[in-house]
Amino acid sequence: MARDDNRRGRDETPEFADRLVAINRVSKTVKGGKRFGFAALVVVGDQKGRVGFGKGKAKEVPEAIRKATEQAKRQMIRVPLREGRTLHHDMEGRHGAGKVIMRTAPQGTGIIAGGPMRAVFEMLGVQDVVAKSNGSQNPYNMIRATMDGLAKESSPRMVAQRRGKKVADILPKEDGSKSKGEQAPVAQEA
C-alpha cells in the first residue's frame, strides 16, 4: 500500500515538460464509410539532460496525446551536456532517409534548429546548438535521427572512464604552454 502512495506522489509532480510535435488524422475505410482516428507524436524531457519521444494512436486526440506522453516517459535517454547548456561535441544522426547534423555552439547562440529537432533540444534543456536536417522531412524520422545522434553523445568523463584514464589526461592543456609540435619563435638579432 505504501508503494502505491509513493508511486502516486511521484506521478503527480510535474517534473517533465512535454511538447506535441505532430498530430495526424488517419482514416480507415470500412463497409459503412470511413472511421477516423488520430496519431500523436510527443517529445518529453526534464530540461536537465533527459529526453524521450513517443507516439500514440486513438479515436480521440487527448487520448492519443496521453498514450504518446506515457510512451515517451518510458523511453527516455540521458544526454550529457557541457556546462548544462550545449553539446560536448559535433555529431550526426540517421534514421531511414533522415539525416541530422548537430554542432556545439558558443554561449548566446540559441537553438538554431527546425521543427521537430527544436522540440527535442528544448525538452532536453540545450540552450545553444546549431543543427541541420537533410533528407526526409517526416517528423517521425527527424526525431528518431536526432535521438540517434544524441545517444552517441559522450562527455569527457565517459571517455576517460572507457579508456581507464583521468579526465585531465584526455582534455587539451589550457595553461598556455606549447605542445611538442609547436616551438617558441626564435628572436633574430640584427
pLDDT tens digits, residue range 109-138? Answer: 999 998 899 999 999 999 999 999 999 999
Identify whether the C-beta of residue 75 lies closer than 8 Å to the C-beta of residue 54: yes
The predicted-structure confidence for 31-61, as pLDDT tens digits, reads as follows 999 999 999 999 999 988 899 999 999 999 9
Identify whether the C-beta of residue 49 lies closer than 8 Å to the C-beta of residue 79: yes
* pLDDT higher than threshold 90 for residue 67: yes
SS3 content of the chain, % helix, strand, coil (to 5): 30, 30, 35
User: How many CB atoms within 10 Å of residue 31?
Assistant: 4
pTM of the model: 0.79
Edge to edge, the sheet with strand 91-95 lists 91-95, 98-104, 129-135, 111-112
Mean of the per-residue pLDDT values of the chain: 85
User: How many CB atoms within 10 Å of residue 85?
Assistant: 16
* pLDDT higher than threshold 90 for residue 177: no
Angle, vertex CA 69, rays to CA 29 and CA 95, nearest 5: 75
The predicted-structure confidence for 143-168, as pLDDT tens digits, reads as follows 999 999 999 888 888 888 888 888 88
Closest to 146 (Cα-Cα) out of 125, 122, 117: 117
Could you tell me the fold of the domain covering 2-169? Ribosomal Protein S5; domain 2 (3.30.230)
